[in-house]
Structure 1
């Protein structure tokens, strides 16, 4: 499964760098990132995303975005009509770590997506004193 992380600013870059700090550098092209900046248009982002999706044709694709309703999510959501991929919003570090740790396991796309979503939710805890 190929992973594409699309976020506002450089969040995608730093999420991946942080994950690699914890579990080591990932040598293969498992994960690609697209950073969306204020000067970028929705159309520019759409072009970048389509180019990445076309690179992965024939493989299962998981797109992770940072914010439901944000431009990265909206563009990916619109492209679901034209291309086949999984889309999860609310990407966080526990999700990304799990993806990197799961890469060796033989799991279907649906199994991976469910597990990643569960990990993301489970990583949110309220701790009282």
Structure 2
């Protein structure tokens, strides 16, 4: 099973994990790490590396981050070469739920791509959807 580490600004990672488990129940092989402005970034990089080891069981790890180019994403990307790791930036709940579904059956890269596709699919402007239905 593919492991998952959520890496975000502030407490967002922990809140995503809480919301996920509210919807689909308790999960294994998943950890959440929040990055604070005052954190020692080298220590946080080591924390992410340890979290990868904690959730890895041989199928790789997907790191979900909140924003490409932000510190959490940059820290995650810096660990890609050391491990069997994919980084997907722009986390949202549909992305995370899809990853939970595909992590037991898909290869690492395919699971990451499916998660990104699900994340994009569920970004919507309600008025556009409702107006399109009226036509």
TM-score range, shorter chain: 0.7 to 0.9
Length-normalised TM-score, structure 1: 0.86
Q: Which residue of 1 aligns with 2:121?
A: 122
Task: List aligned pairs for 1:1-129, cutoff 5 A.
Answer: 1-26=2-27, 29-55=28-54, 56=56, 58-104=58-104, 106-128=105-127
Distance 2:67 2:81 in 1: 20
CA RMSD in angstroms comes to 1.8
Shift of 1:30: 2.1
Shift of 1:99: 2.0
Q: 1:121 to 1:21 in 2, by over 3 A?
A: same
Shift of 1:39: 1.9
> Which consecutive unaligned segments of at least 5 residues does structure 2 have?
none
Distance 1:34 1:13 in 2: 7
Structure whose CA Rg is larger: 2
Shift of 1:103: 4.3
3-state SS of paired residue (1:79): coil
Aligned length: 126
Distance 2:68 2:89 in 1: 6
> Which consecutive unaligned segments of at least 5 residues does structure 1 have?
none
